[in-house]
Structure 1
Amino acid sequence: MFDTIRNHQRWLQFILLLLILPSFAFIGLQGYSSLREGDHSLAKVAGGKVSQQEYDEAMRGQLDQLRATMGAQFDARAFDTPATRKAVLDEIINTRAIVAEADKAHFSASDNQLRQTILTIPAFQENGRFSNDRYVQALAAQGMTPVAFEAQLRRNVSVQQVLGPVAQSAAVPASVFDRVIAAATERRDVQTQRIAIDDYRDKVAVGDADVKAYYDAHQSEFAVPERVDAQYVVLDQAAISGGIQVSDSDVGSYYEQNKARFGQPEQRRASHILITVDAKASEAERAAALKKAQALDQQAKAPGADFAKLARQNSQDPGSAANGGDLDWFGRGMMVKQFEDAAFALKQGEVSDVVPTEYGFHIIKLTGIRPAQTKPLAEVRGQIVDEIRQQQAARQFADAAEQFTNLVYEQSDTLEPAASKFGLKIQTAQGVTRTAAPQDAEPLNNPKVLEALFSDDVLRDKRNSGAIELAPNRLVSVRVAKYEPASVLPLEQVSAQLRQRLIHDKAAELARQAGEEKLKALQAADATAGFGPVVTVARNAPQDMAPALLSAVMKAPADKLPAFVGADTGDAYVIARISKVSPAPALEAQVLSNEKSLMERRWAQAEQLAVLQTLRGKYKAQITEDGERVIAGQRE
C-alpha cells in the first residue's frame, strides 16, 4: 500500500541485513550491484571475479565496524590473521553465490512484502509503531531518495528468498533433541587428584646448550617482520573550517532561496479497513470481497459507528488492523494514487465510499489534517547556519586538498610545509608493519595507507606519499622516519624467557608421566587416597572443572564404575575418579522450550551453511593463488 517503501544505504544496510538474513551476519550487501574486477582476482564465482580493491573495501568495512563496537579496546593487529582474512573473502564469495541463485530463480518481492518489511524496521518506529514522520526524517538525514530505497529493499527481500525458507523450515528431530539434552544434563559424581607441574620444576635442568639448540631449531618463532617508524599528517574539513563565520544576510538569502525546503506540505491522517483480493482472484471472488467491503462501508457511515472497532474486527491489513486501522500521518506521493486521491478528497471525520486499489478494497476515514505551512526563519536558523558553514567548508577543503596534494608531492622530503600551511600536527607511530599500525595511529591502519608506506617511493626513496583519501573530506600523507628490516630476535634477548618455557615443558612432561603411571595403577585397582571431595558435574554444569578434564570425564564409559580418566589442564595433570552416573532431573517445560529454540536456530544455521556450500559448488567458487597469498598475508 505504501508507495514510500524505498531507498537505503550505510547504517540501514545493517538493519535490513539483520531483518533479512538473521542467521548470516557475515553476509554483506555489497555484492548486489555489479562488482569491479581487478587484473589479479582473489576469487572467482558465478562467472565473475573478486578484485583486490573489493576485498580491501570489505576488510576496511569489517575493521570499521569492529572499531566502532570495541572503542578503545580495538587493536587491528589482533584481527590481522589468516582466519580473519579468509572470512572476509568468503563473505564476498557467499554473497555473490546467493545473488546468482536469486537471479537464476527469478525471485521477486511484492509491494505488500516491501510494505510489511518497512513497517517492522525499528529505525522507522516510534513507541513500537511505524511512524511516517520518523521514516521520512530517517531517509532525509542519510541523504536518501525514496525511489532508490524501494529498489534496493525489493532486491534484498528477493535475495532473502534463497536462504530464508531454509531457516524457517528447519526442525530438529525429536530423537536428536532428546539425545542432546540427555548428554548435556547427565550428572557424574567425580573426585580429582592433581599432579602439579610446579612440583617437578626443581627436578629438571635446562642448560645453555638446551636453550641454544631450541633457538636454532625454531628461529621462525623469534622472527620479527620488517617495520618502520612513520610520520604522518591528516587534513580534514574540521582542520580548516573552524574560522568560518556566517552573516545574517547570508542566512536570510539562503532562507528565501530555499523556502520550499522549510515548508511542510499538507499532511493527512487516516484509518482504513482493507478487504484484500488476490491478484489471481476470480470474478466471483472479487465480487464477494466488494460486497463485504460495501457492507462494512455502510456500517462505518452509520451514526455513532465505532470505526476503530470495525477495523480491528474486519480489516485484513496486518500492519494497521490491531491499531484500529490507523495509518499515521502521510503526504502526497506516499500512498498508491487511488487511496491518496480518496483520502485528500475527504473532510475531517468523513468516511469514503469503497476505494479499489491493487491491494483490495478500502474504506477510509479521515482522522486528521495538517495544513501546509512554512517554518519561520527563527525556527530553522540553526539548521541554515550549519548548512552554509558546511557548504563553505566543503569549498575551502576542495581548495586546501589541492594545495595539500601539491605540497606533499613537490616538497617530498618533509611534511613540514604541508603541516605549517594548514596548522597541522606531524604525528608519529612506531613499529608499523605491512599489515598493522599501533592502535592510537588509526589512519595508518587503512590498507591503502599501509600499502603506500611500504611502497618503493616512500620506503626506499624516503619520499612523502601522495595525498591518500581516508574518507570524503579527509586526506593523509605519510613518510618513513626509520626502517628496520625483518630480523630474528637475538638469543640473548630471548634466552631467559626461553629457558623458563623449556623448564615448564620438561616439568609438565614429568608430571604427565607420573600421572599416567598413577592412572594406570588406579584403573587396575581402585583407591581413594589422595582424592578430594565428591563433586557432581555435567556438560551444562562444569563446576569450574577444566574443559579438557570435563570432556574426558563425560566421555568415559559408564558401564563399569568407578572409572578413572586423566587430562592435562595447563598447570597440572589431573586424575578424575568417576563413582556415579545419573540422569538429571526432568527439566521444566520453559527450560526445554528455550533449549529447543536455541537448538533450532543452530540447526537452521547449519542447514544454511550446507546450502551455501552447495551454492559455492554450483557457481564454481574458488579462491585463486593471489587470494591464497592475501589470506597468508603475503601481499605484493
Structure 2
Amino acid sequence: MFQFFRNFFKTKLGLAIALAFLGLIALAFASADVSSTGTFGGIAGGDRVAVVGDEKISTSDLLRGANNSLDRVRQEQPTATMREFLRDGGLNSALEALINRAAIKAYADEHGIRAGDNLVNSEIRMIPAFRGPDGNFSEDTYRQALAQQRITDAQVREDLGIGLLSQQMLFPAGFGATVPDKLAYRYAQLFKERREGSIALLPAATYAPSGEPDAEVLRAFYDNNRDDFVRPERRTIRYATFDSAALGDRIEPTAAEIAARYERDAEQYAASETRDFTQLIVPTEAAANSIRQRVEGGAPFEQVAREAGLRAAPVVDVAREGLAAQASPAVAAAYFSAARGEMTRPARSPLGWHLARIDSIDSRPAQSLAQVRGEIADSLREEKRVRGLADLATEIEDQLADGATLAEVADEIDLELTTVGPALANGRLFENPQQTVPEVLQPALATAFQMDEEEPEIAPVNGGQTYLVYEVGDITPAAVAPYAEIEELVEARWRASEGMKAAQAAADRVIARLRNGDSIADALAAEDRRVPPAQSIDMTREDLARQRERRIPPPIALLFSMAEGTVKKLDAGGNAGFFVVKVDEIAMDDIAQDDPLIAQARRQMGPLLGDEYAEQLGLAMRQELGVSRNQTAIDAVRRQLTGN
C-alpha cells in the first residue's frame, strides 16, 4: 500500500494533490497559531512531549521520569526539592533519557530486534530484590517491591526489555575497543607532563559591600531569587513502639508446653555417641587385614596407606545410625565396638572393605526433662515472642485497615504516643537542624515522606525485636520562606551575591593586567582591596594521579586543561569568590616504547573508547529516526511539577 502512494505522488495528479494538501496544513497552522496553542506536528501539546520515529513520549512519561529521577537524587540529598531539581536541568536530563530509550525501542522494532518474554522473565528472576527468604524468586516479594516503588509489572517489563535491547545493540558497538599505539603512547606521555603556573583567589567577602543595604534593594533581590529561599518539605510524625512487654505473660511457656516439646524432641535428649575416625576403603579383605596388621605392629596408619597408593581420610562427628545408613550396619558395628586409638576390624560395604583408626569418642548421657527445662523454656519463650509480636502487628494492621485511628489503637493496647517534628526528609528537625528524629524512626523516614496525612503504617525495627506504628501529622510543603522571617538571611545572601559580582569584575581586571605583561604579584597588588597572594604550582600529571583518593581541586584541574601562556578565571563555588589561573610553562619528556605506562594507558582508554562508540551509535539511531520535541508540552510539565 505504501508503494502505491509513493508511485501515486510521483504522477502530476498526485503531486498536485500533495501540494494542495500541504497548503491546507500550512493554512491550519497559520490560523491556529501552532506555536502558541501547542499543536506539534500532529502531537497535542498537552499529550506528548516528544516523538522519536514512531515512538511517542507522553507528558505522563516525562512526569514519572522526572519524579523517579528526583527520588534517585534524594537518596544522596534527602532534602532536595523539585524546584532545585528543575533549576539544575533535571527535567531536560529526564527527557533525554526517555528519548534515548524510545530511540532504542524504535530502532529495534524497525530492524526486527526483540527481547522475548522468557528473556525478560529470566532477568526478573535474577534480581536479588525479588528473592524470598529461601533465596529463590518470590512472586509476593516481587509484588510488594513494585507496590513500594509505585510502579507496575508492565513498566518493569518494558524497562528490562529496553535494557536487553540496549545490550544487544549498544554493547557490541563498544566491545573489544582498542586504542592505537600512537594514541596510547601520547596518553601515557601525558603522565610525565609538568606544568608550572599560579593560582590566585579573589575572595567575594573581600569585595562584598559593607554599608547598610537599601530595603528596596533587598526586597528586589528576594523577589528575583525566590527559588534560593525555598524551605524544604517538613512533616510532623506521631508514633509509638511496642515490644514483647506488650504481650505480658502470654509468652511464658506452661509446664504442659515444655513437656510436649521435650516429648517431641526426645531423640535430641536421648543418650548419644559420636566418633571421629580416620578411615581407608580397600577392595579386598586381605588387603584390609594386611594394613591392620602393619599398623598394629607399630607402623603409622597414614604411611601404610600411602605405601599402598591410598589416602587415609579423617571423618568427624559421626553417629552410629548415620554411618549405618551411609556405609553399612556391619561397618557401623565395627567402628562403634573399637576403643579410642584402636584399629577396627575390617567390615564390608558396597564400596569395599572399611578399616579405621578411632581418633576420639564423644559420649553424651541422656538428659532428663528437669535438666533441659530451662533450655526448652527459653526456646519456647523466643518462639512465642516472635509469633506473638507478629500476631499483634497483624491485629493492629487489620484495625488500621478497618479505619481505626492511631490514637484508638494506642489506647486499646496501652501504647504511649509521641509526636516529633516538624522534621526534614534527612531526619533533621526543621527548627533545630543540630538534632535528629529518634533512631527508631530513621528506617521509616523514606516511607513517612511518601505517605498521605493520617495514613498509619506499621513496620518491624531492630531486627523484629520492636515494632513501630506511625502516621504523618502536619505536612508543610516546600515553599518560599516569607521575607519577614528571613530578612537577615536575604541580606547575607545579597552581600555574598554582590561580593561575587565584584570579585568577578576584579578577576577580569587581574586577567587584563596579566595579558598586558604584568606579573601576577603586580596584577594582584594593583587592586584597591588587599587580596591573598597567588600560590605557585609546579607538578606533573603523575602527581595529580596520586591524589585519586582525594578530590582534585577545581583550579588545579583547570590548570591542567589550559594551553601554555593562557589565563582564565573560575568560580570558586559557594559564593567564595573567583580563582585566577595562569599557566606559565608546559614541559613534556619522551618515554620509552616499552614503558609500562603505555600498556596501562591502553587498558584505561579501551573501555572509554568503547563507551564513545556506543554513545555515537545511540546518537546515530536518533538521527536516523528523527526526534521532534513539543516545547509547549514540556513547559506544561515543568509548570505542573512546580505546582503552578
TM-score in terms of structure 1 length: 0.48
Larger Rg: 2
TM-score in terms of structure 2 length: 0.48
